[in-house]
Each structure stands twice: as C-alpha cells, then as structure tokens.
Amino acid sequence: MQGIPPQIKATLKNKLLLLSSLIRVPTKEHSATPIILWPAQRDYIENHTNADLILKSRQLGITTIVTADYFLDTILTPYTTTFSIAQDDATAMSVVMGKYKSYYETMPEAINIGGVLIKVKPDVGNYSDHLISFEELDGRPLKSRIRVGTAGSIKIARGETVHRFHGTEVALWPEGTAEFIMGALEGAMPATGRRVLESTAFGASGFWFELWERAKRGEAGYKTHLYPWWKDDNARLAPNSKDAIQLGLSNLEPTEQEAQLMLKHGLDIDQIRFYRAKQIRIGKIYPQELASDDVTCFLVSGSHVFDLNSITWYAEHIREPLTDKDGVLKWLPPLAGETYIVGADASEGTSEDSDYCAAVVLNVKTLEHCATLHGRFAPREFAHRLASLAKTYNDAMIAAERIAVGGTIVTLLEDYGYSNLYVGDDGKTGWYPSRVTKPLMIDELKTLVDNRLLKSYDRLLISELRNYSELKRGDTLVMRASTGHDDMVAAAGIAAFCRFAAEDGGATAKIIRYGW
C-alpha cells in the first residue's frame, strides 16, 4: 500500500466496504447504482485465494465481481499490472473492457473516510480498447494499468510482471493457447500475484476440463469454486407467471432428481420451476448452462455406457471422505466380520504424463465403496500401498490386473507374502482383461451402477463413470473414458466383477450371474 494515504489503508483491508463505496453497476433504467453483491459474488470475495478456478452457471455476475475486485486493486496499489483475457474480441472489448471503463467512469471522485475527503479516482493516460493506464492518484505517481485482449492475440512479454490475471470463459479459448498463456504467466507473476480462471463447462475434454479435474485431485495448485444455478437470487419462477402458464408448469410435481436437489440444497418449488423451464427452453445442453454439480455439467461426446439418470443421482450423493491421507480416501471404516475386496488398476510411471494407479475397496455384501487409493506410484510403492490398504480392511482379497505392469504388481504382492489374491478361472493369480472378460466386467459394473446398487460417494469414480463412452474407431466399437482416464472405472469394475470369489472365500472366478 505504499503511496496510499493513511486514512484509506484501513478501508483497503475491507474489500466488501470498498466495493460498495466505489463500484457502480448499470441498471435497466440506464443509470448506475452501487453494487449489491449476489451470493456467488460475496462467496468469491470472502473465499478467494491467490489461485482460483471458478466453474459457473450463467448470469451469476462472476466476470463482474472479478473485474471489479481487480479494478480496485489496480487503481489503489501503485505499479500494478492487470491482465484480462477473453475468448474473442467482441467479449474482450464490449464485456470485459466495457466493465473496467464503466467502473472508472461511474466511480466517485472522492469518498469520506473518518470525516476526511479522500480522492480515489486516478488520472488516466492511455484509455483505449485494449489498455487503460492510471498515471496519478491525488498528485502521487500510480503507474498502474489494465490490459485486455483475446486468448489468440495477447502476449506476455519476457521480463514483464503481471500482478493480477483474469481469464474468462477459458473453455472457449482457441486450442493450444491456454497452455502457452499460462506458461508465460507463471514466469511473469510474483509470489504475491493473483490469478483467476473462470468458465462454464463446455465439454468433458480440453484444457479447462483437465485443469479442473487436476485441481480437484489437488495437483494443479488452484482452489476450486463451483457456483451452481441456484446461486442466482433471480432463479425463480412463480406458478402464475406467464412462462409457467405457457410451459404448463403452474402445478409442478418435482422429479426424483429435483426432489433430491430440494432436499440437499434447501431449494423451493419456485426455484425448481425455473430450473424445469430452462431445461425445456435450452434442451439437451442444459446441464452445461445450468450447472448443478461439477460432474454432470461437463457434457460427453459418444454414447454413454452408464445410465445418465443414475450418474446424476450419484452426483447428488457425492461427499467428502472422512479421511484423506497419502493418496487414500476413506468414506467408511472396516467393520469386524465384513468381507471386502480391493480392485486394482496399475500404471507404469510417476510423471505428470503417465496414467494413474487406482484401487477401490468394496464391501462384498453391502456393495459399499469404502475407500479409494489413487495417485501416480512406482510399481513397488503401489504394491506396498495395496497390501497395507487390504490388510486394514480385514485382509481383503486383492484383485489386480495381471498384464503389463499389473503382472509386476501381482508378483510383488506374492513376494510380500500377501496371500489373499484373486485367482482367475484359469488358475492363475490376478485378473486377466481379455476380449471376453473386459466387456463382462464393464457389464457387471453397469448393472450395479444403472440400478444404483453400488454405493459410492467418490467424485473421482462418478466423474469417470459419466465420461465413459462407446466410441467408433473405424469399424470397431471401443469403450473408454472421453478424457483418457478410466483407472477408477477399471478398479471399481474389477472389484465388482471379482467380488464373487471373495464372497466364496477365495474360490476361483464365477461369471454365471445376471444371466451370463
């Protein structure tokens, strides 16, 4: 805060007060009024960090609050450089730069703090479509600036320092630009800098989806903020409104999913009526535009393997684990007398480009998904963690693939002396994924998921189930995750398929179930 009058320093510590004092937003009557924060906007101000990802529904005022926040930092902190990047020139100029200019043009010249009139509106130099430079504040040098551009055109020069960075609708940035921009940004940002990336979902692939998923796994260094559609106070529709009458929604009976939303999030029938009306008008992409969670909003290409209504039901039941330590997430502790199986999918390599190792602990009788082991581990470490996890769950049977690195895992487990290992119907230790057994494994998991028999609260698994698709490759139909990650699906499927052996006290595989 160097160069700022002492009287204003205390006010600078209260961003909510500063926003209401300095920021004006346009009204429908073509005037400007002090900003009144909506729920999502207030949550952002109160809970932001130096690195934030915001997954949003539309019309929540997220771009408004981020630009207002950064505008205040820029005009009140000398030598601050702020970058805002949008997906296209029209958005950059009319929306983003339009907001910055509106804040400046409608802000007061001065505010009264403790009986003293303090000048807060700086003098500008450059005031173009792409750059605003703030030269002085009350006779003291400011030398701060705001740059606005598009993902395909803006450049961060070598040696340039960026203190505030804002990317909007990142999912729509041209392919390849996000990686380049973020790489340049990290080299230009000091430790005290802040970056915010915000976007609607726009598909279960690409930079934005992968970054969000990595952040949820704790690998990207960003805090995630999900702002669903009901964070909009205006997301309501009265039964006697024209829209409700026209769409036949005056007497609305909530669906199972809608009833679950009402129960979990405290929604009322007018909010559900709004939600239903938007579904009718938007069509199939409504989960993307009206995000309810961070699983179903990412739409998937190809034909879904698992029933989407069931996946939506599972998404509403996602919850944080009781413990999360060293790659092991536990939702349910081991119970005396219960039988468990651990399905394991191994991967080779520990680099960021390698696949993940995954294991799912399943209660054989109740079909409760009790724990998950997930991460990038070397084979020896993964085998050791598997044995330790299985031992915790009553010396559970371990069913691991026996091909490629999976075969190494099986050998290591045997070397460790862990004896409760799955044996296939060919008499060999480990599960073999052949052209016959893999479809049967997926079909077994599909039966449990589609009928909601599997009890899982794990976002990692539910997200992969959502993205698991049937895709055509030439004349061949293949099943895989649209993101390239299906380790959790494989681990859960192996546990589901091989659980009959654990149920029978270590007998070999049985596949005569559900009409097989």
Task: Return the number of other C-beta atoms located less than 10 Å from residue 293's C-beta.
Answer: 20
Q: Quick check: is 280 in a domain?
A: no
Distance between CA atoms of 223 and 113, rounded to whole angstroms? Answer: 34
Same domain, 353 and 489: yes
CATH number of the domain that residue 366 is part of: 3.30.420.240
Is residue 161 scored above 70 in pLDDT? yes
Among 227, 248, 268, the domain boundary falls at 227
Task: Return the number of other C-beta atoms located less than 10 Å from residue 221's C-beta.
Answer: 12
- Burial (CB count <10 Å: 0-12, 13-18, 19+), residue 250: middle
Three-class SS of 377-394? CCHHHHHHHHHHHHHHCC
pTM for the full predicted model? 0.85
Categorize the per-residue pLDDT at 281 as very low, low, confident or very high, splitting at 50, 70 and 90: very high
> Is-contact 512 500, C-beta < 8 A?
no
Q: Quick check: is 302 in a domain?
A: no
Among 227, 247, 266, the domain boundary falls at 227
- What local confidence, expressed as pLDDT, does residue 4 receive? 53
**Degrees, nearest 5: CA angle 238-240-242:** 95
Same domain, 333 and 440: yes
- What local confidence, expressed as pLDDT, does residue 479 receive? 53
Among 171, 200, 227, the domain boundary falls at 227
- Token pair 């559970």 in the structure block, residue: 396
- What local confidence, expressed as pLDDT, does residue 515 receive? 25
Same domain, 218 and 325: no
- What local confidence, expressed as pLDDT, does residue 5 receive? 53
Q: Quick check: is 461 in a domain?
A: yes
Least reliable range by pLDDT among 68-77, 104-113, 419-428, 476-485 = 476-485
Is residue 382 scored above 80 in pLDDT? yes
CATH number of the domain that residue 62 is part of: 3.40.50.300
Following DSSP, what letter does each residue of 187-249 receive, concatenated? HH--TT-EEEEEE----SSHHHHHHHHHHHTT-SS-EEEEE-GGGSTT----TTSHHHHHTT-
Same domain, 218 and 336: no
Structural domains in the chain (count): 2
Residues in the chain: 516
Least reliable range by pLDDT among 158-162, 204-208, 391-395, 492-496 = 158-162
Least reliable range by pLDDT among 157-161, 269-273, 396-400, 414-418 = 157-161
pLDDT (average), residues 500-507: 71
Distance between CA atoms of 427 and 421, rounded to whole angstroms? Answer: 12
Q: Quick check: is 279 in a domain?
A: no
Q: Quick check: is 473 in a domain?
A: yes
Domain hosting residue 453, numbered range = 321-503
Q: Looking at per-residue confidence, does 7 or 491 come out higher? A: 491
Within 13 Å of residue 225, how many CA atoms lie on the same side as its CB? 27
State pLDDT tens for residues 282-295: 998 999 999 999 99
Same domain, 204 and 349: no
State pLDDT tens for residues 51-69: 999 999 988 999 999 999 9
State pLDDT tens for residues 175-232: 889 999 998 898 899 999 999 999 999 988 899 999 999 999 889 999 999 999 999 9
| Nearest Cα to Cα of residue 324 among 217, 465, 209 | 217
Which range, 13-27, 152-166, 488-502, is most confident? Answer: 488-502
> Is-contact 72 24, C-beta < 8 A?
no
pLDDT (average), residues 360-378: 96
Q: Looking at per-residue confidence, does 28 or 361 come out higher? A: 361
Q: Quick check: is 333 in a domain?
A: yes
> Is-contact 138 5, C-beta < 8 A?
yes
Q: Looking at per-residue confidence, does 471 or 108 come out higher? A: 108
- What local confidence, expressed as pLDDT, does residue 379 receive? 93
Least reliable range by pLDDT among 36-50, 152-166, 219-233 = 152-166
- What local confidence, expressed as pLDDT, does residue 483 receive? 58
- What local confidence, expressed as pLDDT, does residue 227 receive? 97
Q: How large is the C-alpha radius of gyration of the chain?
A: 27
| Nearest Cα to Cα of residue 273 among 249, 290, 293, 255 | 249
Same domain, 333 and 221: no
Q: Which two tokens stand for residue 173?
A: 């940035």
Q: Quick check: is 508 in a domain?
A: no
Same domain, 214 and 363: no
Same domain, 213 and 331: no
Q: Quick check: is 422 in a domain?
A: yes
Same domain, 187 and 52: yes
Distance between CA atoms of 302 and 305, rounded to whole angstroms? Answer: 9
Is residue 30 scored above 90 in pLDDT? no
Above pLDDT 70, what percent of the chain?
A: 91
Same domain, 352 and 489: yes
Categorize the per-residue pLDDT at 159 as very low, low, confident or very high, splitting at 50, 70 and 90: confident
Is residue 508 scored above 70 in pLDDT? no
Same domain, 178 and 50: yes
State pLDDT tens for residues 235-268: 999 999 999 999 999 999 999 899 999 999 999 9
DSSP label at residue 88: S
- What local confidence, expressed as pLDDT, does residue 470 receive? 75
- What local confidence, expressed as pLDDT, does residue 310 receive? 94
- What local confidence, expressed as pLDDT, does residue 394 receive? 97
Categorize the per-residue pLDDT at 507 as very low, low, confident or very high, splitting at 50, 70 and 90: very low
Calculate the alpha carbon distances from 196 to 85, 116, 131, 296, 427 in Å. 11, 34, 19, 23, 55
Computed over every residue of the chain, the mean pLDDT equals 90
- Burial (CB count <10 Å: 0-12, 13-18, 19+), residue 352: exposed
- What local confidence, expressed as pLDDT, does residue 485 receive? 82
Distance between CA atoms of 437 and 443, rounded to whole angstroms? Answer: 10
Categorize the per-residue pLDDT at 480 as very low, low, confident or very high, splitting at 50, 70 and 90: low
